[in-house]
Structure 1
């Protein structure tokens, strides 16, 4: 197994067991330090994983017959009101709401609402 595979295996080795209380404050401090180091290692590994961030303006369900009749002059009404916050998604999972801003002649996002999701929910 390569070092990267070992890092990945150890990073994904989540320990859900309940530990017995530490015998002393020193032992508890050492456990906390080891746990913190493990979290840092996991975070370092996860920080290199690419994800797709998407800004969704709105959506609409239309029939295939309506879609076939779409041409250059067609207007399709969407399900959001003008000025309403837009959905920010990570890998298709709703992460929060944002508004569009302009930064150096490019579009950007100002996050105005953030859903505190667990990492596991974002990987589904």
Structure 2
């Protein structure tokens, strides 16, 4: 239930801002300004309304601690260690698997240019 209390006010601001931005689609400067204003208003609503209402704490406390405070625990092989979560074993293995699949699809479709041995690069004169 707390998720809904946090999501609904910010989503309402985002949907209203998106509708307003969509209405002035022909003017790039006005679209940019209204988009930035929507983002600022969404952060303001989250900080002032949502944090105070659903978490019952001051917005300043949320700002000093950050919105998310994640702590990874476990072996470095699974958490990524000092490199971060993108360096863990699962991310590397799935990244390699996706690379193999995409290379196989590209080769099957004929989008891979073969490597020519012995070819030398020449600069245009």
TM tier, smaller: under 0.3
RCO higher in structure (CA 8 A, sep ≥6): 1
Q: Which has the higher helix share?
A: 2
User: TM-score, with normalisation over the residues of structure 2?
Assistant: 0.26
Q: Which has the higher strand share?
A: 1
Larger radius of gyration, structure 1 or 2?
A: 2
